[in-house]
A and B are shown apart, each in its own frame.
Chain A
């Protein structure tokens, strides 16, 4: 079974631009979560989608948004990029919306904002 696929692996953008990251979950998984990983802040929860509905949201500004499609694939968008948005963005999927269901992570998208 294929794992979680994130595209692209690397992105370089300029301040003020916007970016869209894509995530394809493991087949059959209906929940997709997004995390931001930085050396200073570690792993921080962005949001989680289940059956095309946002179920949970972390403490990030409105510039960060996401969506999930009917095939469970998900995208996240960051508008008006800032230097501090440079990070590894990780997508994770799980079969359902349950707190005891382990997350399965993709290899991430490395975003660099210049």
Chain B
């Protein structure tokens, strides 16, 4: 079985400061990892994904994430946040033989303070 833990439910950060949103997963099989963003009253939008290869993955809007197999982590980072980054962020995992069943974390609410 797979599960995802997002360690911080809320993260406030000042505009132009760096941010890291933490995600840990547990899985007994090979995994694929994703970060999604959800703006109010909208669905989820894919930020980035790790399927294989380089452990540092770059996504849209200046976000990046690093896959760390030994620590079973996939933390999301941005060097300088903007007001428009205020949203809910979800880490998700899928694995071998699960088809399209994704397991989502409970989300991290990022608030960027002017």
User: Considering only CB atoms, which chain A residue lies closest to B34 in the complex?
Assistant: A102
Query: B residues 86-114 with Cβ under 8 Å of A?
Result: 90, 94-107
Q: Is A4 an interface residue (CB 8 A)?
A: yes
Interface string of B18-37 (1 = CB under 8 A from A): 00000000000000101010
Q: Is B17 an interface residue (CB 8 A)?
A: no
Q: Is B42 an interface residue (CB 8 A)?
A: yes
Instruction: Known A99-B32, A103-B102; judge A4-B46 contact (CB<8 A).
Output: no
**B25 → A minimal CB distance (Å):** 14
User: Considering only CB atoms, which chain A residue lies closest to B96 in the complex?
Assistant: A99
Q: How would you classify the secondary structure of chain A's contact residues: helix, strand, loop or mixed?
A: strand
Residues of A within 8 Å of B104, CB to CB, are 35, 42-43
Contact A107–B100 (Cβ < 8 Å): no
Number of interface residues of A (CB under 8 A): 28
Contact A42–B100 (Cβ < 8 Å): no
Residues of B within 8 Å of A66, CB to CB, are none
Among A13-21, A70-78, A79-87, A90-98, which stretch is in contact with chain B? A90-98
A-B contact pairs, 7 of them (CB 8 A): A4-B43, A50-B99, A56-B100, A90-B44, A92-B44, A103-B100, A105-B36
- Cβ-closest 4 pairs across A and B: A105-B43, A43-B104, A99-B94, A105-B44
Chain B residues with a Cβ under 8 A of chain A: 32, 34, 36, 41-46, 49, 51, 90, 94-107
